[in-house]
Amino acid sequence: MNRILIAEDEPRIASFIANGLNRNGFVVTVVADGDSAYQYARTGAFDLMVLDLGLPIIDGLAVLRLLRAEKIDLPVVVLTARDSVADTVTGLESGADDYIRKPFGFDELLARVRLRLRAPGHDPEPTMLRVGDMTLDLRTRRISIEGQAPEVELTAREFALAGVFFRHVDQVLTREQLLSRVWGLDFDPGSNVVEVYVRYLRKKLGTSRIETLRGMGYRLHSLPRTAAED
């Protein structure tokens, strides 16, 4: 069973991540400052750390640099509200294995955690998800469709939504489930954001792939249907 260290000083976000990872079978420890994150990460007791950059006492980048300077190769998925390219480059050059900007959906975080884990005795997580004639590349956030070129590029939210559909192919997903899994803590129950992003995906993948079931939700079909329902 994989052990995850969460270094996040915002209790609401830390609880959101911890509860989600616990439900998916991970053992979780939460710390709220950079010094604790550094000390815990050095113990060798964890398989991966989810690290917020804006930590008190020692910030996340300093924690990351200290660990890498000591040749500690614990996989680190960075969380940050900083959104510039320079910040992303700095985080990756400091030794981060992956980088997620806030706000984020839990399913995207879960996919990235699983992708970075390399636990002994476990098969590596797949980097591709396949549904019918479509392949979703978890590394590049692109979808390839057999017989079509080029690959379809997705935005971060489109990628997170596609990931949920690909993991639950031919299943009905309610609007509330999609809001929670893709938009996480940032979702507004009264928003029409799900409808908007389903429409974006239909434009990129083909209108007949995602079915609307009135009063129930949405379903991704493994193969295109002959007629689209919206």
Hey, what domains does the chain have and what are their CATH numbers? 3-116 (3.40.50.2300), 128-220 (1.10.10.10)
Mean pLDDT of each 10-residue bin along the chain, 230 residues long: 90 90 86 95 91 92 91 90 60 75 85 76 64 87 86 86 89 87 68 92 91 93 63
pLDDT at 184: 67
Q: What are phi and psi of 166, to 5 degrees?
A: -65, -35
- What is the spatial distance between Cα 215 and Cα 213, in angstroms, rounded to a whole number? 6
Q: In what order do the strands lie in the sheet with 128-131?
A: 128-131, 134-137, 142-145, 152-153
pLDDT at 187: 61
- What is the spatial distance between Cα 174 and Cα 167, in angstroms, rounded to a whole number? 14
pTM for this one?
Answer: 0.58
pLDDT at 10: 93
pLDDT at 93: 66
Q: How buried is 25 (Cβ within 10 angstroms: 0-12 exposed, 13-18 middle, 19+ buried)?
A: exposed
- What is the spatial distance between Cα 46 and Cα 24, in angstroms, rounded to a whole number? 16
pLDDT at 143: 93
Q: Are 230 and 207 in contact (CB under 8 A)?
A: yes
pLDDT at 31: 95
pLDDT at 126: 64
